[in-house]
Amino acid sequence: MEQKETGLNRITEYQQLVDDTLKGRSYGAHPRELYEPIEYIMSLGGKRMRPVLVLMACEFFGGDVKNALHASIAVELFHNFTLVHDDIMDKAPLRRGKQTVHVKWNDNIAILSGDAMMVRAYQELCKTDVAQLPALLEIFSDTAAKVCEGQQLDMNYERVSKVPIPNYIKMIELKTAVLLGGALKMGALTGGAREEDAQQLYNFGKHIGIAFQLQDDILDVYADAEKFGKQKGGDIIANKKTYLLLKAMEMAETNRYLKEELQLWIAAPHFDAKEKVEAVTNIYNFLNVKELARAEMKKQYAAAMACLKGIPVAEEKKNALIAFADSLMVREV
Amino acid sequence: MEQKETGLNRITEYQQLVDDTLKGRSYGAHPRELYEPIEYIMSLGGKRMRPVLVLMACEFFGGDVKNALHASIAVELFHNFTLVHDDIMDKAPLRRGKQTVHVKWNDNIAILSGDAMMVRAYQELCKTDVAQLPALLEIFSDTAAKVCEGQQLDMNYERVSKVPIPNYIKMIELKTAVLLGGALKMGALTGGAREEDAQQLYNFGKHIGIAFQLQDDILDVYADAEKFGKQKGGDIIANKKTYLLLKAMEMAETNRYLKEELQLWIAAPHFDAKEKVEAVTNIYNFLNVKELARAEMKKQYAAAMACLKGIPVAEEKKNALIAFADSLMVREV
C-alpha cells in the first residue's frame, strides 16, 4: 500500500514536470491563426498519460528523465494533433469540456494547425541526443503510422454492420494502445534499456491500452453516471461499435428475437434516448456481455503484467508502473 | 547552348530516377482506404521538380545521388501531402487534371491519408545515413513548418480586402519558395557542402521559387491560353489576390475612377466571365502592372543567380541548375 502511494506520488511529480515543461514551450508566433489553436489544445490539460509514461520508462531503466523530456513532449504534441484531426473527422463539438478546435475556429484551421503540430512534434523529438535519435524516430513514426491506420479502421467500421471481435481489438490496439506502448518504448531507450526489454515494456503498454479502452466501453453503459461525468449510454445512443455491442450482435445471431430487437434499436431513426439505453442494456445484461468484456479486459491486464514481470529490473521499481496501470483501471466496473 | 542541352538532359535523367524510385515504393497495405489515396496522388506525376532539386544539389557539390535519394523522395512525399490537404481547404475539384483525393474519396480520408503521408515522408528521410540525418531533419521540419505558415497566410489573405505587396511576396516565399530552397539545401548537405554554401543554394531556390510564382500570376492573364493549358484569367474570375491584382489595387488608390471600377468587378456577385477578364485586364494594362510584375520577377531571378554565383563551385557545374531555373522561366511573358 505504501509502495503504491509512493508510485502515485511519483506520477503526480511526472505530470507536474510535463505541465511545467509545456508551459515553457512556444509553438510559433505568426500567423496567429496557425499557432493559437495549438496553444489552446495543448493548454486544455488532461492526464498527460503518454508523456508521463515516457518519463516513467526512462527512470525505470535507471535513466535521467532529462534525457526523455523531448520525447515526452513530442508524444504529447503528437497525441494532441491526433485529437484535433480526429475531432474534425468525428464532427465532435467538445474536447475535455471545451469547444474543439474545428468548432472554435474552423475545419481548415484545424487541419492546418494539426499539420503544424505534427511538425512541431518531430522538431521536439529531434532535440534528443543524436545517439538515441534514430531509434526514437523509428518508434515514433512507426507508432504514428499505426495510429492513422487505427483511426481509418475505426471510420471503416462505422459503415459496416458487423465487425468481428478480433478486428475490433486490433483497431483499438492501433488507434489507442500502440501510442502507450510507443511512449514506454521511447522512454525505455532514453533510459538505456536493451531493445528486448524496451519491447517488453511496449507490449506492457499495448495490453494496458487495450484493457483501458475495453473498460471505457463498459463504463459508458455501467458506470455511475455522476462519478464518470459522461452521459450514460452515449455509445448506445450513437450505435458506437463497442466491444459490448459487437459481442451482443455476435451472440444474438443464434437468437432470432434478440437479433431483431437489437437491429430495431440500431436502425431506429427516432427514439427516446433513455428508452433505447435501457432496452439495449437489458439485451447486454441478458447476454452477459459485460462479464465477457471484463474477462477480455482482465486477460489484457494480466498479459500486461506478464510482460512487466519478464523484464529483469528490481521488482520494487515496477511499482510506479503498476500503480499507473491500476490508476487507469481502478474505477469500479 | 550545348551546355544548356546537357543540363536539360541531366534533368530528364534525374526525373527518371525519381519516377523509377517512386514506382518501387509501397506506402502500406492495410487499410486500403488509407494507402490507396497515397498511391493515387503519388502516381499522378508532375514534373518532380523538388526531388530533382535535391538530387541536383547533391551532385552539384560532388556527392553521389544515392545518398540524396531518401531526402529526395521524402520531399516529394511531403509536397504531395501538402497538395492533398490544401485541396481540401481550397475545395479544389481537380489536381493535375484528375479528381482530387477529397473528391475521389472524401474529406476524412484526405485528412487522414495526408497525415499518413507526412509520417511516411519522415520515415523515408530517416533512411538517410545517420551522420547527415540531424541536419536534414532540421531543414525538413523547418521548411515544413514554414509551408504551413504560408498556407495559413494565403487563407488569411483571402478574407481581407488589401494585402501589401511585401506581405504577398512573403506569403509566396513561405507557401511555395522555401520548399525549393529546402530541397536544394538538403541535397547540398548530402553532397558534402559547407553550411554557408548550402544556405546560398537555399536562397537561390527561394528566389527562383518566388520568381516562378510571379510568372504564374502573369501567365494566368497574359499567357497564350492554348499553350498554357489553363483557363485564361482564372485568377481574375476568382478574385485571387495575385501580384497583379494587389498592385493594381494599390495603384488605383490614387485614381478614384479606376478604384471604383476594380471594386465593382471584385464585388460583382454575377458577371460574364469573359467580360470581367477583359475589363480587369484593361485596368492592368492601363496601370502597367504586368511590367511591374515582370520587373519583380526579374529582380528575384537576378537575386537567385547572384546567390549561385557566390558559391565556390566550378562555373560549368552551375549549368544544370541554371538550365533548371530557365526551364521554369522560359515561357514567354
What is the per-residue pLDDT across A199-255, written as a single tens digit (0 to 9) for each? 999 999 999 999 999 999 999 999 876 565 566 888 999 899 999 999 999 999 999
Select the residue from A149, A174, A178 to test the B interface by mutation, using most B Cβ atoms within 10 A: A149
Q: What's the predicted TM-score (pTM) here?
A: 0.95
pLDDT of amino acid A225: 62
| A126 with B137: Cβ contact below 8 A | yes
What is the per-residue pLDDT across B62-114, written as a single tens digit (0 to 9) for each? 999 999 999 999 999 999 999 999 999 999 999 999 999 999 999 999 999 99
User: Mean pLDDT across the stretch A58-68?
Assistant: 97
pLDDT of amino acid A331: 59
Give me the long-range contacts of B248-256 (CB less than 8 A, separation at least 24).
B248/B280, B248/B283, B248/B284, B248/B287, B248/B289, B249/B162, B250/B162, B250/B164, B250/B165, B251/B287, B251/B289, B252/B283, B252/B287
pLDDT of amino acid B4: 61
Q: Which CATH number among 4.10.640.10, 1.10.150.80, 1.10.600.10, 3.30.1360.120 corresponds to the domain B2-329?
A: 1.10.600.10
Q: How many CB atoms lie within 10 A of CB A66?
A: 11
Residue A285 pLDDT class (50, 70, 90 cuts): very high
pLDDT over 80 (residue B50):
yes
pLDDT of amino acid B2: 56
pLDDT of amino acid B202: 98
What is the per-residue pLDDT across B288-317, written as a single tens digit (0 to 9) for each? 999 999 999 999 999 999 999 999 999 999
Counting residues of chain A whose pLDDT is more than 70, the rounded percentage is: 95
Residues of chain B positioned with their CB less than 8 A from the CB of A85 = 111-112, 115
DSSP letter string over B235-295?
Answer: HHHTT---HHHHHHHHHHTT-HHHHHHHHHHHH-SS--HHHHHHHHHHHHHHHTHHHHHHH
pLDDT of amino acid A3: 59
Residue in chain A closest to B81 (alpha carbons) equals A115
Least CB-CB distance to A153: which of B31, B89, B114? B31
Residue B329 pLDDT class (50, 70, 90 cuts): confident
Residues of chain A positioned with their CB less than 8 A from the CB of B128 = none
Using a 10 angstrom Cβ sphere, with 0-12 exposed, 13-18 middle and 19 or more buried, the burial of residue A198 is buried
CA distance B38 to chain A (A): 13
Select the residue from A112, A120, A151 to test the B interface by mutation, using most B Cβ atoms within 10 A: A112
Angle, alpha carbons B21-B23-B27 (nearest 5°): 95
Contact between residue B124 and residue B79 where contact means Cβ atoms under 8 Å apart: no
Residues of chain B positioned with their CB less than 8 A from the CB of A115 = 85, 114-115, 118, 148
Residues of chain A positioned with their CB less than 8 A from the CB of B125 = none
ipTM (interface predicted TM): 0.94
Residue closest to B249 by CA, chosen among B85, A219, B240: B240
DSSP letter string over B271-288?
Answer: --HHHHHHHHHHHHHHHT
pLDDT of amino acid A286: 96
Select the residue from A86, A122, A178 to test the B interface by mutation, using most B Cβ atoms within 10 A: A122
